[in-house]
Amino acid sequence: MMVNKKGLLAAGAVAVAASLALAGCAGGSTSGSSKSDAASSTLTVWVDADRAAVLKDAAAAFTKESGVKVKLVQKDFGKIQEAFIAQVPTGKGPDITIAAHDWLGNFVSNGVVQPVELGDTVGDYQKVAVTAMSVEGKTYGVPYSIENIALLRNTALAPTAPATYDDMIAAGTAAGTEFPFLVQVGPESDPYHLYPFQTSFGAPVFGTNADGSYNPDDLSIGNAGGEAYAAWLAKEGAAGHLSVNVTGDIAKEKFNSGASPFLITGPWNVPDAQKAGIDVAVDPIPSAGGSPAQPFVGVQGFVVSAKSKNALAANEFLVNYIGSEKVQTELYKVGGRAPALTSAFEAASSDPITAGFGAVAAEAVPMPSIPQMGKVWQFWGVTEAAIITGAGDPTQLWQKMTADIQAAIK
């Protein structure tokens, strides 16, 4: 009884201590970052686990030269967007975070990022990367990688790259495999993977301004090209070339088992295909509608918090360290995504896979990061799926979708 009670009391006291400590933490953690004397000036950087090791070296070099300490905080990449938006206003967010370019629209409308001045180094990056990192003409981040889809070809089944979609189907049929070509669609379709075909009909989601940024007032998805694309979807769905039953996993598995000579996918599926013993080549996506087939490009980079008290140091670190060829090459080596810095990309192009995806990226378009894009997805995919399954008249469904998007973004 006696021992028991002491134990309980002790446990109670520890619990109380812990809860007080928690309460203390809630208020305490900002005190560190508000100091601004040079000795204790610290840049806090959020980074995902893969890239943390590379940044460690860059940070050490930066600290040595400038005296500014860099604290790297590892975060789960998928959770950074929400955490950054929630924490920056409270003053507890980092000075710099790793980010995907399509988060920028959200970051800007929440006022959590500040522009980064690339200065004269702007020309050293691939143009599509800088365009992607910009919102309304202002650059908000230093890009480090470019990622996009292209056509993977099983060289054993198809020796040459197809020039058009029809060539691809012909080559695929000639190969005698289960599928002439594969692209992931899924029950709610996959507009991202089908987008190159859509652009090949001249129907981008939004029109662009002179500087390459998207114009939310110019919803061009519903133009004549869009309707032609809808008709094409219905036709290919009926022919069995496109199927909502083919999900990402199935498409990958079938390609890796040699059931199709072609797969439209990104660099993330290449290592597994090679491991499955397939000799892959990366080609441009063939056009279905006559115009160039432009996929979306995803750009990753680093952005500076609007509430950073170390804005100058942050800018210096990003432009001159993250933007250096050495760091960009190192980041390429850990992630396998093509570097955004032109010189680093050229060095990385000795690998034919990287060169292949990079060649497609050079012609591609950034995924719109404008907030209006978020309202497009919810109507886009399901409508494509309905057209592919033949649930209605393609033109009518496409027009209905355009009207719904228009109403949602008004």
Partner 1 sequence: MTTTGTEQGEAPVTPRGDGPGESPVVQTSRSKRAARVAEAASVGVKTLLVKIALLSIVDAIGVYALMVLFLKQDWVVFGAVLVVTAVVNWIYFSRYKLPAKYLAPGLIFLLIFQIFVVGYSGYIAFTNYGTGHNSTKQDAITSLIVSSQQRVPDSPTFDLTVLEKLGTFSFLVTDPDGTVSVGSTDVPLTPVTNAEVDDAGKAVGLSGYTPLKFNDIVSNQEAIAAISVPLSDDPNDGTLRTPDGSSAYLYLSDLVYDEAAGTMTNTTTSTVYVDNGKTGSFVAADGTELLPGWKVEVGLANFAKAFGSESIRGPLISVTIWTFAFALLSVLTTFGLGLFLAIVFNNMKMRGRNFYRVVLILPYAFPAFLSALVWAGMLNPQFGFVNQVLFGGAEIPWLTNEWLAKFSIIFVNLWLGFPYMFLVCTGALQSIPEEIQEAATVDGARPGQVFRLIKLPLLLVSVAPLLISSFAFNFNNFNLIYMLTNGGPRDVTAGVNVGATDILISMVYKVAFVGASRDYGLASAFSIIIFLLVALVSIISFKQTKALEELN
Q: Tell which one of 60, 86, 156, 170 touches partner 1 (CB under 8 A).
A: 86
Q: Are strands 262-265 and 134-135 parallel, antiparallel or unpaired?
A: unpaired
**Count of residues near partner 1 by CB under 8 A:** 96
**Cα angle, residue 318 at apex, residues 108 and 141 outer, rounded to 5°:** 25
Assign 152 to helix, strand or coil. strand
Interactions with partner 1, residue window 355-384 (CB under 8 A): 371, 373-379, 382-383
What is the amino acid identity at position 53? A
Nearest to 205 by CA among 377, 7, 54: 377
**Candidate residues 96, 99, 313, 348; the one interacting with partner 1 per rule CB under 8 A:** 313
DSSP letters, 294-312, are: --EEEEEEEEEETT-S-HH
Scanning 241-249, 267-275, 325-333, 355-363 for contacts with partner 1 by CB under 8 A, the matching segment is: 241-249
Q: Which is nearer to partner 1, 197 or 398 (CB)?
A: 398
Stretch that binds partner 1, among 163-171, 217-225, 286-294, 306-314 (CB under 8 A): 306-314
Q: Are 405 and 370 in contact (CB under 8 A)?
A: no
Residues in 15-44 at the binding interface with partner 1, rule: CB under 8 A: 15-17, 19-24, 26-28, 30-31, 36-38, 41
Shortest separation between residue 213's beta carbon and partner 1, angstroms: 13
Instruction: For the CB of residue 198, give the shortest distance to partner 1 in the complex, in Å.
Output: 17
Q: Could you tell me if 230 and 144 are in contact, meaning their C-beta atoms sit under 8 angstroms apart?
A: no
In order of 246, 295, 316, 374, 390, the CA distances from 139 in angstroms are 38, 22, 15, 21, 43
* 404 touching partner 1, by CB under 8 A: yes
Give the Cα separation of 281 and 283 in Å (integer). Answer: 6
Distance CA 25, CA 17 (A): 12
Residues 92-151 touching partner 1, rule: CB under 8 A, are 102-103, 105-106, 108-112, 114-117, 119-120, 137-138
Q: Is there binding between residue 188 and partner 1 (CB under 8 A)?
A: yes
> What's the rounded Cα separation, in Å, for the pair 79 and 397?
35
Taking CB under 8 A as the rule, does residue 9 contact partner 1?
Answer: yes
Residues in region 314-353 near partner 1 by CB under 8 A: 315-316, 319-320
Pick 89 or 159: Cβ nearer partner 1: 89
- Residue carrying the six token digits 């020309």: 123
Q: Does 49 bind partner 1 (CB under 8 A)?
A: no
Structural Rg of the chain based on CA atoms: 25
Least Å from the CB of residue 88 to partner 1: 8
Kindly tell me which of 292 and 371 has the beta carbon lying closer to partner 1: 371
250 binds partner 1 (CB under 8 A): yes
